[in-house]
Amino acid sequence: MAAPPPNILWIVTTQWRGQATGYAGDPNAHTPHLDALAAGSVNYAQAVTPHPFGPFARAAMLTGVRSPENGVRDYYDPLPQEARTIAHRLRARGCTTAFFGKWHLYKRDPRAELIGEAHARIVVPPAWRGGFEFWEGFEGGFLLNDPWLHGTRLPEPVKFPGYQSEVVCARAGAWIRESGERRPDTGKEQAAGSTPAIRSPVSGFKNRFRPWFCMVSLEPPHPPYDAPVPRRDPGQAAGVMPRDPREIVLPPNVPLGTEVEAKARCELAGYYAHLEATDQAIGRLLAHVPRENTVVVFTSVHGDMHGAHGLFRKGWPYEESIRVPLLVRGTHPDGLGFWVLGSGLGERNEEPVSLVDLPRWTLEWTGGGGLKTQNSNPPTEIQRISMPSVVRLPHQCDRVWRGVRTRTRKLVLNEDGAPWLFFDLARDPGEEHNLAGDPDRAAEIAELRRQV
């Protein structure tokens, strides 16, 4: 008998670099809960975002269609109402769908302050919520503490005290717990399959023991990096110890002895504190997730330069900006050891993959039949990356570009098609030697250029 479709949980953060975890070897990152998740997951060590900027990446990740083809070309473009997301597709297959946290795909006023309540209290109408059956979140605002939430059961924004990651993960965890309990309309708990129709006390809609898809979208570790995090005193288990900027270990591509170094150290002290606090929140969320029938995905929409190459923020085509963490923990409902995308013992995968692959993978996992031990589609050696427009905010990338990345090479073209950057990632992982003008690399560049 074929195994039933699993539940699917996407945990999506913002500005979390692929290099910035304990399991990836970052000496600054204290991420014990993600390290534990990685120990039972496939770690896609070559994963990239298709676009290193929030709205473009989010639109691509939800639809499986790159920007601007998905309708999002400018930073302030909303995801079109008619766009088909993974939530639409899974609902058509009978899944219950839920979204919690940062949306960042509705209409925003370009004249309003990005940080603060003006964007945090924007109400996203139901028709603009990407097809999710249950929705509870906020458009933006970068309020890492005391977020304003609205949605299915909150018609107007309500301020929730506490650290944003903790608040959002706790709300999502409650929804997952109560969905898993499968309480029938009588209010009595019964075993799965014994009652044909139930009402979730959290979501208020009926289902028939359907598998669920839940996306938890967290804003941290996005700036402001000096925003408070839950602090602790020495000896306490919860909270985060303050970081000393002088103790931050910088990679070789951050210029030392400069104002760039000073700024990088200062903001990275806050950045890694937010990583640790969010790791704790994710750990508490995962404690509510049934291991035996749920696929868990952890990733980020993009990274941050943090002084590498003298640059800050995102939009840039360098590894710090485009590489993202991507963990997939599978499930073995039949007890026979069959896992989605791996053995379940923790393994490193070097395939070049992209966030734009996630909708296709998720549909495969819920497509009926047995769970797969690997992706049904053969791996590609190339992932396309791009910035469809210039985001005119401080420190962001100054040009439109497009490119390709393999395991060992990266080619980036300017808007007119001329090569801008070419790196041999195998020999130069820090991207300190631009080979775009090297005549000895002309044939290699020409070959990759045909695939951009």
Q: What percent of the chain has pLDDT over 70?
A: 86
Average pLDDT score over the chain: 88
Residue 375 is predicted with a pLDDT of 44
Tokens for 53, please give them.
């900027």
pTM: 0.91
Backbone torsions φ then ψ of 161, nearest 5 degrees = -70, 145
pLDDT of residue 369: 41
Mean pLDDT of 61-78: 97
What pLDDT, on the 0 to 100 scale, is given for residue 198?
A: 27
Question: Residue 206 pLDDT more than 60?
Answer: no
Contacts of 439 (CB under 8 A, 6+ apart): none
Taking the C-alpha atoms of residue 386 and residue 368, their distance in angstroms, rounded to an integer, is 34
The DSSP output letter for 146 is S
Residue type, 5: P
Over residues 382-400, mean pLDDT:
94
On the question of pLDDT at 244 being above 80, the answer is: yes
Measure CA of the first residue to CA of the last residue in the chain; give whole Å.
Answer: 44
Give the tens place of pLDDT for each residue, 392-413.
Answer: 888 899 999 999 999 999 999 9
Residue 370, pLDDT score = 40
Domains observed in the chain: 7-381 (3.40.720.10)
Please report the pLDDT score of residue 371 as a whole number. Answer: 40
